[in-house]
């Protein structure tokens, strides 16, 4: 662990005469995911997840990288929490590794696995940081995938059981719980076009998985309600897509409608309205009759929650056309195409457009006016590195974060109830199919030595937190 100076990067003190102030009590956080940072892939009884298997499959992950060691967070956790304390974050959003708790996806918990999260929560609380638990960030136990995975109904029931085990261990100290992270990615990238684990390519499997994610969310929410104090905040995190038509033609607007159905409303409508989007059912009639949706499922899926997490990185420009195969757009592949948006791009080749975040937040204000929102992931990968002096200068990331926090502030001014912002990510990490080739962290990790180096963006963010807002003028 390298010595760091994470003091706020500002020359004008903590209180500025001008700037964009956020509400009192606004939650300033950062976020990670278990498989991306923990390492210790075979310790304390942990067995393979679908990502362990996928990353060992030749050609699936850049450079053959795996999460076996990742950022070695399981062994370096106290130092990583110290970093967060120095940055001044109020909240830390992390995920629990399902196969570390329940190696087969069934049965009693492995106490050694739970012990790590008990220590993490205690460390966070000791540092004055609120722990925010995400129960699922894509690491399904491989044994459950072998039994059919998310396309099978039983997986939803197994998830609810697992939620109860974690709640029993941490519920006395954790007050904010998220059931699922980005179920769209789990369903449509994992089972639709196969670029994520488990790497299956089936429109039917993707649609079935999406429904069972909704069912799992609702069932787990009921378990959490039953086992946790009434004051506990229960949430779901969705990557609500910001969609724009290429032109104002009827064909391009219809393409947006089709993508919106399979990207956004396939989760929003069941969870918040207890119904399937009728146009989605019609669009996918050639794939399925939706008979896997059983009586009572939508009632369970729509069990009320306290807040909604939103992950946002970039918008999508959609037009009438045909998607490349295999596609994640089940039922829409023959009708939609995507055009790269203009403007600057990140190392992921994603367009930088903070207006998309504003569009998503105001859409949700209009559709779900009484539901508080949290921006649970937002950030960017760039080609940053430690210079000969050991410094990591990342002005592009600072500009990206500044623009997106400005968009959040504008949304709040326009009546959106946004209560927090969680920067993705604390650490450089295993970036899924990109392996270690993409860096999202505000703390640089030398993966050979595991040395941590605070980037300029981390110091900038510390200043934002200390001021309670963005410097202007």
* Residues assigned a catalytic role: 182, 377
Q: How far apart are CA 97 and CA 114, in angstroms?
A: 10
In contact, 30 and 423? CB cutoff 8 Å:
yes
Q: Which of 226, 196, 222 is nearest to 209 (CA)?
A: 196
Kindly compute the dihedral angle of the four CA atoms of residues 201, 255, 356, 185, in this order, to the nearest 10 degrees. Answer: -10
Q: How far apart are CA 101 and CA 366, in angstroms?
A: 39
Q: Which of 267, 264, 218, 32 is nearest to 134 (CA)?
A: 32
The first and second tokens of residue 298, run together, are 């939508």
User: Beta-carbon neighbour count of residue 86 at 10 Å?
Assistant: 17
**Beta strand pairing status for 19-21 and 469-471?**
antiparallel
The first and second tokens of residue 313, run together, are 């990185």
Q: How far apart are CA 48 and CA 54, in angstroms?
A: 10
Taking the chain, what is the end-to-end CA distance rounded to the nearest angstrom? 37
In contact, 236 and 308? CB cutoff 8 Å:
yes
Q: Which residues have CB under 8 Å from 27's CB, separation 6+?
A: 90, 91, 130, 374, 419, 420, 421, 422
Please calculate the CA angle 364-365-371 and round it to the nearest 5 degrees: 85
* DSSP structure class, residue 95: E
**Beta strand pairing status for 336-339 and 316-320?**
antiparallel
Q: Which residues have CB under 8 Å from 373's CB, separation 6+?
A: 307, 308, 309, 310, 361, 364, 365, 416, 417, 418, 419
In contact, 78 and 84? CB cutoff 8 Å:
no
Please calculate the CA angle 427-433-434 and round it to the nearest 5 degrees: 55
Burial classification of residue 363, based on how many CB atoms lie within 10 Å of its CB (0-12 exposed, 13-18 middle, 19 or more buried): middle
18-51 exposure pattern, b = at least 16 Cβ within 10 A, e = fewer:
ebbebeeebbbbbbbbbbbbbbbbeeeebbbbbb
Number of residues assigned to the chain = 473
């Amino acid at each position: 662990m390298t010595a760091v100076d994470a003091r706020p990067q500002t020359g004008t003190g903590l209180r500025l005469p001008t700037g964009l102030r956020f509400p009192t009590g606004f939650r300033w956080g950062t976020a990670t995911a278990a498989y991306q940072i923990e390492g210790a892939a075979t310790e304390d009884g942990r067995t393979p997840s679908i990502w362990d298997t996928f990353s060992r499959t030749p050609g699936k992950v850049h450079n053959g990288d795996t999460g076996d060691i990742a950022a070695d967070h399981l062994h370096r956790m106290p130092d990583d929490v110290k970093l967060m304390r120095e940055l001044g974050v109020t909240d830390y959003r992390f995920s629990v590794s399902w196969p570390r708790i329940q190696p087969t996806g069934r049965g009693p918990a492995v106490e050694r696995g739970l012990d790590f999260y008990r220590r993490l929560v205690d460390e966070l609380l000791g540092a004055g940081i609120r722990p925010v638990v995400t129960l699922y960030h894509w690491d399904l136990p491989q044994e459950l995938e072998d039994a059919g995975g998310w396309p099978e109904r039983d997986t939803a029931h197994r998830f609810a059981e697992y939620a109860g085990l974690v709640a029993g261990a941490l519920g006395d100290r954790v007050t904010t719980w998220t059931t699922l992270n980005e179920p769209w990615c789990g369903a449509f990238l994992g089972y639709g076009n196969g670029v994520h684990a488990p790497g299956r390519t089936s429109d039917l499997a993707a649609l079935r998985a999406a429904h069972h994610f909704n069912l799992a969310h609702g069932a787990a929410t009921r378990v959490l309600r039953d086992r946790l104090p009434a004051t506990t905040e229960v949430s779901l995190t969705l990557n609500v897509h910001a969609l724009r038509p290429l032109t104002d033609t009827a064909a391009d607007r219809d393409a947006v409608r089709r993508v919106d159905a399979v990207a956004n409303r396939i989760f929003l409508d069941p969870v918040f309205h207890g119904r399937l989007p009728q146009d989605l059912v019609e669009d996918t009639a050639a794939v399925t009759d939706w008979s896997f949706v059983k009586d009572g499922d939508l009632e369970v899926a729509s069990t009320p929650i306290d807040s909604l997490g939103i992950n946002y990185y970039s918008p999508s420009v959609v037009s009438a056309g045909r998607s490349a195969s295999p596609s994640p757009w089940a039922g829409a592949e023959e009708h939609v195409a995507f055009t790269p948006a203009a403007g600057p791009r990140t190392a992921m080749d994603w367009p930088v457009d903070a207006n998309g975040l504003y569009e998503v937040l105001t859409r949700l204000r209009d559709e779900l006016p009484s539901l508080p929102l949290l921006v649970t992931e937002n950030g960017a990968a760039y080609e940053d590195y430690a210079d000969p002096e050991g410094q990591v200068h990342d002005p592009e990331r600072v500009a990206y974060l500044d623009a997106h926090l400005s968009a959040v502030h504008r949304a709040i001014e326009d009546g959106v109830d946004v209560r927090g912002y969680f920067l993705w990510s604390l650490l450089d990490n295993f970036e899924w199919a990109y392996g270690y080739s993409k860096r999202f962290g505000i703390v640089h990790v030398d993966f050979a030595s595991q040395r941590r180096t605070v980037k300029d963006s981390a110091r900038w963010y510390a200043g934002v937190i200390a001021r309670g807002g963005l410097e202007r003028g």
